[in-house]
Amino acid sequence: MYDKLSLSNVTLDHVTPEIVLLTLHRPEARNALSWAMMKDIKDALHAIDADNRCRVVILTGAGKSFCAGLDLTDQANPDSIEAVVGPMKAGPRLGMRSQEYMAEMMLLLRKIQQPVIAAVNGHAYGGGLGLTLASDIRIAAHSAKFCTQFIRLGISGCDAAVSYTLPRLIGASRAHDMIMTARVVDAQQAEAWGLVTRLADEDALQDAAVELAQELCNFSPYGLVSTKQAMWANLDATSMEAATHVENRNQILNGLSGDVEEAAAAFFEKRKPNFE
């Protein structure tokens, strides 16, 4: 189904029928986010979400960087902007429409049915950090470096959803430090803070991501989808009671799928479950 997509700045590859590798592919620009690339990312995510064969997505970058942030040479190009957001008079409306277009990438990562594993190599700056934080699981090569960067550009340090995602991962105090000072955090510090949960050697990063994705694919299809939904929903839960309502609903729906019976049978028969 991906053959129908016209993508020039990202690639989509099936590692297995259940695992899709989404690669940011502008290595000559450290995978900086041009307007065309942002459109490709959003088109790819919509296509993946519609692919019910796909169980897990691995998001990574080609070359030496994951994503170095916005492509500043392209951001002020009226033709590039118009190509993705449509013709519009310059002013607040165009500015807001453009800003929302960029921010939608982070929301899409959260909304698609598949868990997303960010496999971060090299720079994850600005919008690249935003993509990393909006993913469900983050692993990094030892070369990875993380930076919000936005405040260095004369704008607010809060962009690409980092003011929401980062404090929830590393705590408000550390997030204030990173966002307000544009501090660069290396892979080792990122793991210590919980920004990433696993480290890998540079040449083993993709293999580590695939191994993790295969581990997730061992679980029931709806169980995995509903886990992602509940985790994100309950980050915003107003109380423990509200969170348990979401959990209870999902457990009942999972119980009606037939997967519980298969998991129990596999346990007693000492075999791997065969989930439909």
Distance of alpha carbon 196 from alpha carbon 268, whole angstroms: 36
pLDDT exceeds cutoff 80 at 210? yes
Spatial separation of the C-alpha atoms in residues 119 and 141, rounded to whole Å: 8
Residue 98 has a pLDDT of 87
| pLDDT bracket for residue 10 (50, 70, 90) | very high
> Which amino acid is present at 43?
D
Burial class of 254 by CB neighbour count within 10 A (0 to 12, 13 to 18, 19+): middle
Determine the distance from the C-alpha atom of residue 218 to the mean position of all C-alpha atoms in its chain, rounded to a whole number.
21
Q: Quick check: 88 pLDDT over 90?
A: no
Report pLDDT for 262: 81
- CATH 3.40.30.10 holds for 2-217: no
190 in Cβ contact with 144 (< 8 Å): yes
Residue 1, pLDDT above cutoff 80 = no
- Of 103, 152, 151, residue with least CA distance to 127: 103
CB 119 within 8 A of CB 59: yes
Q: What is the mean pLDDT of residues 145-169?
A: 94
Residue 198 clears pLDDT 90, i.e. is over it: yes
10 Å CB burial of residue 230 (0-12, 13-18, 19+) is middle
Amino acid, single-letter form, for residue 48: I
Mean pLDDT of 235-256: 90
Half-sphere exposure of 117 (CA within 13 A, CB side): 26
User: pLDDT higher for 176 or 86?
Assistant: 176
Tokens of 172: 């408000």
Q: Please report, for the chain, the start and end positions of each structural domain, with discontinuous segments joined by +.
A: 2-217, 221-268
Angle of helix 221-235 versus helix 259-268 axis, rounded to 10: 120
**Six token digits for residue 265:** 């049978």
Q: How many residues does the chain have?
A: 276
Average pLDDT over residues 225-248: 94
Query: Quick check: 131 and 106 in contact, CB under 8 A?
Result: yes
pLDDT at 83: 84
Q: Mind listing the pLDDT tens digit for each residue in 110-134?
A: 999 999 999 999 999 999 999 999 9
Q: Can you give the chain as a three-state secondary structure string?
A: CHHHCCCCCEEEEEEECCEEEEEECCHHHCCCECHHHHHHHHHHHHHHHCCCCCCEEEEEECCCCCECCECHHHHCCHHHHHHHHCCCCCCHHHHHHHHHHHHHHHHHHHHCCCCEEEEECCEEECHHHHHHHHCCEEEEECCCEEECCHHHHCCCCCCCCHHHHHHHHHCHHHHHHHHHHCCCEEHHHHHHHCCCCEEECHHHHHHHHHHHHHHHHCCCHHHHHHHHHHHHHHHCCCCHHHHHHHHHHHHHHHHCCCHHHHHHHHHHCCCCCCCC
Share of the chain above pLDDT 70, in %: 100
